[in-house]
Amino acid sequence: HRLFSVHMVQHLLLMMVAAPLLVLGTPIVLGLRACSPSIRKRFLLPVVRSRAAAVLSNPVVSWSTFTVVLWASHFTNLYEDALGSEATHGLEHVLYLAGAVLFWRPVIGLEPGPSRLSHPGRILYLFLAMPQMAFLGLAIYSSDTVLYPHYLISAAALGTTALADQHLAGVLMWSTSMVLLLPALGYVLFDWMRQDARDAARIDERLERASLRRT
């Protein structure tokens, strides 16, 4: 908690590394397979099939939730309060992780469901997210006042100023988020090409079978 820039790295790793890895781990499928049939039927399936789950899985809701969490956590009292309270700090991390998991599911989620976007939709989804993170980083970087007074003393004790540390945190938010979103775009493009190749192979197979039947 002594430097905003270090704290920013922690949050970026939580949202841009830990969350997508969790999504790729197919937690819903694993949970359904690991539980007994009675627990699955009484507890898990009703939650998975609930209206709330369907709403949260909607790509527009997922994208909006992640964006609101990002901006609200940095420009309300939540961030400063979290620096002085372990409970609030834990809540902040839960919001970051949950919002990021919701964000990543429509893009790289392997589990079937209504949240699956087409490949062009996923690319647009990521492109729309990039400016949000870039503008947030720019807003933090360009601020002439210290956003979180907590760092005034702790940064000075480490031989820097809170404002310089804040500028570094803004640069990290802007640059690192861009770097970490680019591999996701590459993944989507690769998956798109692979899907097209599979579709083309299936079409060729059907045409070949039809040709053999005619002969």
User: DSSP string covering 113-163, please?
Assistant: STTPPPHHHHHHHHHHHHHHHHHHHHHHHH-SS-S-TTHHHHHHHTTS-HH
Record the pTM: 0.86
Which tops the pLDDT comparison, 75 or 36? 75
Cβ-defined contacts of 52-56 (< 8 Å, 24+): 54/114, 56/102
Q: Which residues contact 67 (CB under 8 A, 6 or more apart)?
A: 129, 132
Q: Decide if 98 contacts 15 (C-beta within 8 A).
A: no
Residue type, 133: M
Model confidence band, residue 182 (pLDDT cutoffs 50, 70, 90): confident
Q: How far apart are CA 195 and CA 202, in angstroms?
A: 11
C-alpha to C-alpha distance for 111 and 47, rounded to whole angstroms: 15
Average pLDDT over residues 107-111: 84
Q: Which residues 6+ apart lie within 8 Å of 14 measured at CB?
A: 93, 96, 97, 100
- Closest Cα to residue 111, out of 66, 198, 189, 48? 48
For 51, residues 6+ apart whose C-beta sits below 8 A from its C-beta are none
Mean pLDDT of 103-129: 85
Tens digit of each residue's pLDDT (9 = 90 or more) over 51-90: 888 888 899 999 999 999 999 999 999 999 999 899 999 9
Average pLDDT, the chain: 89
pLDDT at 96 over 90: yes
Q: Which pLDDT value is given to residue 114?
A: 60
Per-residue pLDDT averaged across 154-172, rounded? 93
pLDDT value at position 112? 66
Quick check: 181 pLDDT over 90?
no
Q: What is the pLDDT of residue 61?
A: 94
Q: 37 CB contacts (<8 Å, ≥6 apart)?
A: none
State residue 208's pLDDT score.
74
